Amino acid sequence: GEDVEQSLFLSVREGDSSVINCTYTDSSSTYLYWYKQEPGAGLQLLTYIFSNMDMKQDQRLTVLLNKKDKHLSLRIADTQTGDSAIYFCAESMNRDDKIIFGKGTRLHILP
Amino acid sequence: EPEVTQTPSHQVTQMGQEVILRCVPISNHLYFYWYRQILGQKVEFLVSFYNNEISEKSEIFDDQFSVERPDGSNFTLKIRSTKLEDSAMYFCASNGAWGSNTEAFFGQGTRLTVV
């Protein structure tokens, strides 16, 4: 079945780049997402990428997709304390289909 | 900016009681969803709803769950007889029409605690 895997924790020093990795199993996934969840808050869509793209950049965020290996990564440049959150990798077949989420990576920022 | 609104933000209920979680999706959206997140676990799909009927549901969405869009504005999730394991954060989401180039917007969630 569909599955999305990601590491559970990442610690990064403030000002460094954070790279959160994710793998997924469903090769028919068309949309791949990164959601951010701050403590006690809802799910905020950070960015998404179509499966026919290799890379997408949006200000400090860079998403890389290796479709052959079914590997997705999110790079946050110049990580700030406000980036401390749980980051969920997710995928769906179409934009209005159900979204399959990973377990989330908790990003901890070191001073 | 348009947003999905969920009420209440926190609900405590006794085991065996019925609860109704409420959501107001974004007004011109046509697809509606419920997800849940048990503490410390992944966000799981429960059900999707389109054109006044369920379009897909997961194994979690058994007979104790039901959804309704009673008045064209609200979208509700009812749990008939709550169990301890229903304690979770429940997220509502909505999405636009096919081809409308939108993504799913999520509400802030309702934390359900069954005691």
Query: Would an 8 Å CB–CB cutoff place A55 in contact with chain B?
Result: no
Give the best residue of B36, B106, B110 to mutate against chain A (max A CB count within 10 A): B106
Q: Give the span between the Cα atoms of B41 and A109, in whole angstroms.
A: 22
A59 Cβ contact partners less than 8 Å away, ≥ 6 residues apart: none
User: With contacts defined as CB-CB under 8 Å, which chain B residues touch A102?
Assistant: 42
Q: What percent of chain B has pLDDT over 70?
A: 95
pLDDT for B100 equals 62
Q: What percent of chain B has pLDDT over 90?
A: 77
Do the chains contact at B42 and A102, CB–CB below 8 Å? yes
Query: Would an 8 Å CB–CB cutoff place B107 in contact with chain A?
Result: yes
Query: Would an 8 Å CB–CB cutoff place A95 in contact with chain B?
Result: yes
Query: Would an 8 Å CB–CB cutoff place B59 in contact with chain A?
Result: no
User: Mean pLDDT, to the nearest integer, of B93-97?
Assistant: 84
To the nearest whole Å, the CA of A33 is away from the closest chain B CA by: 10
| Residue B85 pLDDT > 70 | yes
Higher-confidence residue: B103 or B3?
Answer: B3
B63 — pLDDT class (breaks 50, 70, 90): very high
Residue whose C-alpha is closest to residue A107's, from A90, A89, A95? A89
Strands B65-68, B53-57: pairing kind? unpaired
pLDDT for B40 equals 83
pLDDT for B38 equals 94
Contact B19, B78 (CB under 8 A): yes
Please report the beta strands in chain B, taking only residues with DSSP state E, as ranges in sequence order: 5-7, 10-13, 19-24, 31-37, 43-50, 53-57, 65-68, 75-79, 88-95, 105-106, 110-114
Do the chains contact at B107 and A88, CB–CB below 8 Å? no
Q: Give me the DSSP letters along B82-106.
A: --GGG-EEEEEEEE--TTS----EE
How many of the other CB atoms lie within 10 Å of CB of B23? 25
| Residue B101 pLDDT > 70 | no
Higher-confidence residue: B41 or B91?
Answer: B91
Q: Each residue's pLDDT tens digit in chain A (111 positions)?
A: 678 999 999 999 999 999 999 999 887 878 999 999 998 788 999 999 998 999 999 999 999 999 999 999 999 999 999 999 999 999 998 888 899 999 999 999 998
Do the chains contact at A45 and B56, CB–CB below 8 Å? no
pLDDT for B79 equals 98
User: Mean pLDDT, to the nearest integer, of B58-72?
Assistant: 93
Q: Give the span between the Cα atoms of A6 and A104, in whole angstroms.
A: 7
Contact B48, B67 (CB under 8 A): no
Q: Is A8 exposed, middle or buried (0-12, 13-18, 19+ CB in 10 A)?
A: exposed
To the nearest whole Å, the CA of B60 is away from the closest chain A CA by: 14
pLDDT for A100 equals 94
